[in-house]
Structure 1
Amino acid sequence: MTWLLLAEAGVPEGGLFDLDATLPLMAVQVVLLTFLLNVLFFRPVGKVVEEREGYISTSRADAKQKLAQIERLEADLAEQLKDARQAAQAAIVDAEQEVDRLYREAIAQAESEANRTKEQSRREIEAERENARTQLDAQVDQLSNQIINRLLAA
């Protein structure tokens, strides 16, 4: 019931913009609340945000540096791979040339061996032919002598 009496009581003059002690008290409360919020919430949160930004920027710089290093290593490996392929190709060409040279040498050696064997066989055949002619000539002479001796004896 007392509340009803107070509610019925008239509102003092001035209303919202009354310049008594409430306005400075409200200003002090706002400044004090701002100071407390700044000390208790905004500074720690700001500090965490700044640390996080620092961590992100250093991580980003490290990542860029590592990426550049990886790109350099990749370029070096690509160059080494290119050199290795060229060296392998050169080795293949050298091996093919060596095989071709050895093949030609083997063919030449086989041909010379065949020619040598052929010439030796020809000489042996010729010697046997001469030997056979000599024997035939001797037999012909012997038969001729026998025929002549028989004809003369008859």
Structure 2
Amino acid sequence: MTSWLLLAAAGEPAGGLFDLDATLPLMAVQVVLLTFILNALFFRPVGRVVEEREGYITTSRAEAKQKLAQAQRLEADLKQQLRDARQQAQKLILAAEEETDLLYRQALAEALADANASREQARREIDSQRETALGQIRSDADQLGMLIVNRLLAAS
């Protein structure tokens, strides 16, 4: 305790605020030495980690951009394929509808032709049966007429 008192009583040495003794170069050497030690122990590893992280981020962003561009190209290709598939499906549907319509018309024409042929054949059969019946009726009428005449002549 006494030493503190002696130092306090000694006061300030002569020379004032900027006294240039061995303290200033010693402090400069300490600052430079501390800078080299901190740089070697802390700042270089942290700088390396930061640079590695920046490199990783840069490569990751570049890869992400490439993958995004590739995904957009694939999406465009798939959309084009989908449009082409839809157009082909529409063409196939249209062709199938046309073919179905053609088959329907052909079947309808065949059915109408068969119906007309059947009707014509039935008309011919009816006409032949009518002619046969009329011929039969005429012959029966002639026989009946002859029979009546014969009976009338026989009765007179």
Match in the other structure for 1:89: 90
- Could you tell me how far 1:86 is from its partner in structure 2? 0.3
| Residue equivalent to 2:52 | 51
The aligned counterpart of 2:121 is 120
Are residue 142 (structure 1) and residue 149 (structure 2) matched?
Answer: no
Question: Distance in 2 between the 1:125 and 1:92 partners?
Answer: 48
- AA of the residue aligned to 2:123: R
Q: CA deviation at 1:16?
A: 3.6
Which AA in structure 2 matches 1:121? Answer: A
**Where in structure 2 are there 5+ consecutive unaligned residues?**
none
Please state whether the residue corresponding to 2:142 is helix, strand or coil: helix
Which amino acid is 2:128 matched to? Answer: A
Question: In the TM superposition, what are the counterparts of 1:1-154 in structure 2 within 5 Å?
Answer: 1-154=2-155
Q: Secondary structure at the match of 1:18?
A: coil
Measure how far apart 1:106 and its partner are: 1.1
**1:127-149 deviation digits (Å, cap 9, x = unpaired):** 11011011111111111111111
Looking at structure 1, the residues matched to 10 and 32 of structure 2 have their Cα atoms a distance apart, in angstroms, of 33
TM-score (normalizing by structure 1): 0.96
> Which ranges of structure 1 fall in alignment gaps of 5 or more residues?
none
Instruction: Note the alpha carbon deviations across 1:9-36, whole angstroms, 9 max, x for none.
Output: 1211124422221111111001101111
Per-residue deviation, 1:92:
1.0
TM-score (norm 2): 0.95
Distance apart, 1:64 and its partner CA: 0.4
CA deviation after TM superposition for structure 1 residue 59, in Å: 0.2
CA distance, structure 1, for counterparts of residue 3 and residue 134 of structure 2 = 170
Secondary structure of the corresponding residue to residue 21 of structure 2: coil
Compute the RMSD of aligned alpha carbons.
Answer: 1.0
1:2: how far off? 2.5
Q: Which runs of 4+ in 1 moved over 3 A?
A: none
Query: Which residue identity lines up with residue 98 of structure 1 in the other structure?
Result: E
Aligned residues: 154
Percent identical residues: 69
AA partner of residue 19 (structure 2): D
Look up the SS of the partner of 1:17 in the other structure.
Answer: coil
